A and B are shown apart, each in its own frame.
Chain A
Amino acid sequence: MTNSIEELAQADVIFVIGSNTTEQHPLIGMRIVEAVRKNGAKLIVADPRKIRLSDFATIDVRLTPGTNLAFINGILNTIVTEGLANEEFIASRTEGYEEFKASVLKFTPEKVEELTGVPAATIREIARIYAKATNASIVYAMGITQHVTGTANVKALANLALITGQIGKEASGVNPLRGQNNVQGACDMGALPDVLPGYQKLSEEDVLNKFAQKWGQNFAHGKGLTVSKMMEEAAHGGIKALYVMGENPVLSDPDSSHVEEGLQNVELLVVQDIFMTETAKFAHVILPGASFIEKDGTFTNTERRVQRVRKALDPIGEAKPDWLILTELIKAFGYEASYTHPKDIMDEINQLVPSYGGITYERLENQGLQWPCPSVDHPGTKYLHKDKFSRGLGKFTPAVYRPAEEQVSEEYPFLLTTGRVQHHYHTGTMTRRSWALDREYPDGFIEINSEDGKALGIWNHSRVKVISARGEIEARAVLTDRIKQGVVFMTFHFGDSPVNKLTNRNLDPDVEIPELKVCAVRIEGVR
């Protein structure tokens, strides 16, 4: 997030697109509801489903999955043609505006209405409300990114913030909500194939020299494969061994049969986890790790706040904290690793990652710190891009449009989109084993528009088969008016209705994120 969660309360306009905030980020969702109810903020919601936030929205739009980009371009077009752009901000803080302006002219609200089904008048009204706000915050999540146009979608939202100057000040910015507790931290720590910890470049000599002092001279500093490509290479023989720590790709990755093929094909699969997950079943060796309740460390939340995790119970059985397993394993390979507590590892991070330079355990004792925090006397950073962007000037990206890769056909007439519910988490490894949560959502279900259900001859709560070009699964039908006709919704929490057997491997060309949000299916009743 460029802003802090607290700042949402001060926004007078909040634009939520591709985020079911009350379910996935409940406490942020609550903050948005408060901004509306207590401070009279205007809320704009765009989603394929009528989500809980829709009930509080000034404008609420049902988007067909895969049409975000056209929709955002329509808003941008209106801002340009109605003279709502913030010329002063554009002149002083941005570049590439003229080229962008020319590219967006073809996305008239009328044209966008044809592509998205959202009325032209509504698109214009959204543009006016957003552009005229004193402080407007954009909030998005995987509904924006899990598309073949994921990168283009994010850039289009950045265009929107730049053209109106709604960024770099209190309560104004672009705020991706990071899904998992420490996905921000995993990225910060360099668990990515194309950067070193702290997003430092693999090609910069100073950086490499600095790391060589802690990592030894010959560490690998090339660009590696993304998880999607690793799974492909595992199936094709290029990857011979996989080490999987605390992930469950069989349920979470697209096209699970393909993932299973890769896992079966490797010579060695090491899984470090707390449960026998669907993925661990394929392992050659399993190392039992500890949960967040059983170890010390830090997590970094979606607003870049680094906070302490504290051990409350001993690890179960002979299980060990994951940092200890890795420390002992590095030693077993004959390398030096003298960490006796996660604090020792953070000391090393302090020295190598500038944005974490001043984030020490002593300072985290009472409260978290938001990076960038380069030194021990730095207070941390509430919001980013205040006086300048990381790259200097904010860059406009020319507007483009590309529809979703997979479209409906006679054989597969429905668009399936995926998501989550508040009571479960990701592949459900933990929440499905916490009885008070599993009791509320005990089985896999599919939301179908009531009219569509009627046409298909399906009763509420009857079993249906959901079939895509990749596979078929069964689930319980939930008929509802909260979803657009022609669109169906499932979660990926349930091992017995594994929705990723259906999803496809179409990837965004820039960052290789799979288009999990759009998949063509057909639905049949089960007798």
Chain B
Amino acid sequence: MKKVLTTCGYCGCGCNFYLNINKGEIVGVTPKFDHPVSKGKLCIKGWQGFGFVRHRDRLKKPLIRNAAGEFEEASWEEAYKYVVNKLSNIKEKHGGNSIGFLSSARCTNEENYLLVKLARAVLDSNNIDHCARL
């Protein structure tokens, strides 16, 4: 069994715990005893909040809406090409500020930084925000 130390993905407390992994499955959670916030304790979400990760509803492939208005599975190449073409056209026609970006308080620092860079440096848009206000 493998134990992976990580930071909880729910609230702003930032408790740490070990995910116990056996044969590619989470089989339990062990709190970290010397962590300055959690001190060996966890809330119900820390103990039980991992069930979603292998839930049948997870999105597993890129999806593109077809002419009939339905989602169709696509390859990553097709999805990137679709996004790049559409966004480039809109930027060309209406300018970067016609594009809005909503970043995520659930994603990592590195990911937030990259989305800001995508908005401001690549697509020339000032419109970047996230749900800090909600």
Task: Give A residues with C-beta under 8 Å from B.
Answer: 4-6, 24-28, 30, 145-146, 177-193, 196-197, 215-216, 218-228, 230, 233-234, 238-247, 249, 252-253, 267-268, 270, 273-276, 280, 283-289, 291-295, 297-303, 305-314, 316-320, 322-323, 326-330, 332-333, 335, 337, 339, 342, 345-346, 348-349, 367-368, 422-423, 425, 429-431, 433-437, 440, 511-514, 516
Q: Give chain A nearest CB distance to B64 CB in angstroms.
A: 5
Contact yes or no, B99 A27, CB < 8 A = no
Given contacts A224-B128, A227-B131, contact A330 B102 (CB under 8 A): no
> How would you classify the secondary structure of chain B's contact residues: helix, strand, loop or mixed?
mixed
In the complex, A422 Cα to B107 Cα: how many Å? 21
Contact yes or no, B134 A186, CB < 8 A = no
> What is the total number of residues of chain B having a CB less than 8 Å from a CB of chain A?
98
- Residues from chain B with a CB closer than 8 A to the CB of A227 are 102, 129-131, 133-134
Whose C-beta in chain B lies nearest to the C-beta of A27? B13
Whose C-beta in chain A lies nearest to the C-beta of B63? A286
Given contacts A246-B106, A267-B86, contact A328 B96 (CB under 8 A): no
In the complex, A297 Cα to B107 Cα: how many Å? 9
Given contacts A178-B12, A227-B133, contact A422 B43 (CB under 8 A): yes
Q: Give chain B nearest CB distance to A358 CB in angstroms.
A: 15
- Residues from chain B with a CB closer than 8 A to the CB of A327 are 114
Contact yes or no, A193 B127, CB < 8 A = yes
Contact yes or no, A193 B116, CB < 8 A = no
Contact yes or no, B90 A430, CB < 8 A = no
Q: What are 8 A-B interface contacts by the 8 Å CB criterion?
A: A178-B12, A190-B113, A220-B97, A243-B118, A286-B71, A307-B7, A433-B52, A513-B133
Contact yes or no, B121 A215, CB < 8 A = yes
Contact yes or no, B53 A181, CB < 8 A = no
Residue from B61, B110, B127 with most neighbouring chain A CB atoms (10 Å): B110
Contact yes or no, A243 B99, CB < 8 A = yes
**Proximity bits, B52-75, A CB within 8 Å = 1, else 0:** 111101111111110000010010
Whose C-beta in chain A lies nearest to the C-beta of B86? A268
- Residues from chain A with a CB closer than 8 A to the CB of B33 are none
Contact yes or no, A215 B80, CB < 8 A = no
Residues 23-51 of B contacting A (Cβ, < 8 Å)? 24-26, 36-38, 41-45, 48-51
Q: Give chain A nearest CB distance to B103 CB in angstroms.
A: 4
**Proximity bits, B87-101, A CB within 8 Å = 1, else 0:** 110100110111111
Contact yes or no, B6 A430, CB < 8 A = no
Q: Give chain B nearest CB distance to A24 CB in angstroms.
A: 6
- Residues from chain A with a CB closer than 8 A to the CB of B65 are 283-285
**Proximity bits, B3-20, A CB within 8 Å = 1, else 0:** 011111111111110010
Q: Give chain B nearest CB distance to A193 CB in angstroms.
A: 5
In the complex, A270 Cα to B71 Cα: how many Å? 13
In the complex, A292 Cα to B15 Cα: how many Å? 13
Whose C-beta in chain B lies nearest to the C-beta of A244? B102
Given contacts A241-B87, A330-B117, contact A312 B109 (CB under 8 A): no
- Residues from chain B with a CB closer than 8 A to the CB of A219 are 120-121, 124
Contact yes or no, A185 B112, CB < 8 A = yes
